[in-house]
Amino acid sequence: MVTWDTWSTRTHYEEVEEPLPELEGITSAAKDRARQADFNVNKGRCLIENSDASWTEVVDVLHRINGDANDVMNRLEWAWGMNRGTLNLDTRRNLTILSPNMRIRLRYGEWSLLPEPSVIRRFFFDVENMKPHNRWNFPKLEDETYKYTFIPLHDMEDVYISRQEEDGSVTIHEYPYPNFPVLTSHIHPTFAIMHIGVSLSIMVDPVKRAELLEKHDWLTHVVTLYDKWSDPFVEEMYRGVDYGFMSSAKPVMRMRRDNGPCTPPRRIPFQWTHLKGKRRAPRAPPTNTANSQTRPKKRQKLTRLKEDALDFHDEEILDVQEWFGTRLSSWVDESFSYPPLAPNGLHE
């Protein structure tokens, strides 16, 4: 007779498929918005190489994998003076047009776009002492386009960039690309600044990082903004403002569909799609009978796995909310009206 006490979950294992979460892909509507915005400036060509539009891709500047990371998104929304749950990384302001080669290099942080000094200044109330604005005084930048300097960050020493000119000729730019033209893009400076900050924060060579900060005067200001926006709560937490930012009465908008001409205020959700992975899972013990030993059918096991996984996902979200509830002091913008939202240039 086999009982629960004698059944070993450590020695009786079998392979069972389970659903794995995948980040929702960039929707067709989001791609159309990005291409339309870029077409007005660069005709859909690669921002860096100016290559033909037929060889380009829609690429996120601030990596959209963070779209469902509550801690990152909450911090940015707080720092940028936004309502909680409204920052959508699939906004056209975060999507640019690049060739496959430049897309890969952007993703690995090998290059980035540095906003003009006049734009960077607007994020500080004290530029000389590098004191950024807080959320209550965050600047509302709403220009259609901005000027950027192409800056190599790492592993670009042996890379030649071929850029097509307006007359059809091709100019070869060699590292460190001193004659590379100033670029015009619809990308919002906040996303460009965050991309630089992330890239520098993961740079493994401290000497190279120090050289970059010395070479580009305004990179130090960019790093200051990145640090402030990535963890803006510390000084404000002690100012005695009321609790409400993580109120359960203001749920994060995840399920709003992105299928129209305007960017919906929402977080990019994870999806539980097809079964694609396997893990070791214990069998259910056999029934306590003398002549038969049965186990649940596969369909039943898969149903339980899905429910368990979703419950675990919900528990993680609640844990994050509780943690932030102890850290935050205020969420002054109580309205979650949709639409409109307070204009800040990030919802377009």
- Inter-residue contact 154 to 109 (CB < 8 Å): yes
- pLDDT given at position 109: 96
How would DSSP label each residue in 253-269? --S----SSS--S-PPP
User: Residue 210: pLDDT above 60?
Assistant: yes
User: Residue 292: pLDDT above 90?
Assistant: no
Residue 201 corresponds to which amino acid? S
Query: 46 lies in a domain?
Result: yes
Residues 125-153 pLDDT 10s: 999 999 999 988 999 999 999 999 999 99
pTM over 0.85: no
- C-alpha closest to that of 44 among 97, 122, 111: 97
Q: pLDDT exceeding 90 applies to what percent of the chain?
A: 50
Average pLDDT of the residues in 276-289:
49
Say how many CA atoms lie within 13 Å of 102 toward its Cβ. Answer: 28
Query: 293 lies in a domain?
Result: no
Domain of 146? 25-268+321-327
- pLDDT given at position 235: 54
- pLDDT given at position 68: 56
Query: 311 lies in a domain?
Result: no
- pLDDT given at position 293: 44
Query: 198 lies in a domain?
Result: yes
Q: How many domains does the chain have?
A: 1
Task: Quickly state the pLDDT bin for 335 (edges 50, 70, 90).
Answer: very low
Which distant-in-sequence residues (6+ apart) come within 8 Å of 48 by Cβ?
Answer: 98, 99, 102, 111, 150, 161, 163, 183
Query: Among 54-68, 157-171, 230-244, where is mean pLDDT lowest?
Result: 230-244
Query: 196 lies in a domain?
Result: yes
Rounded to whole angstroms, the Cα distance separating 88 from 68 reads 10
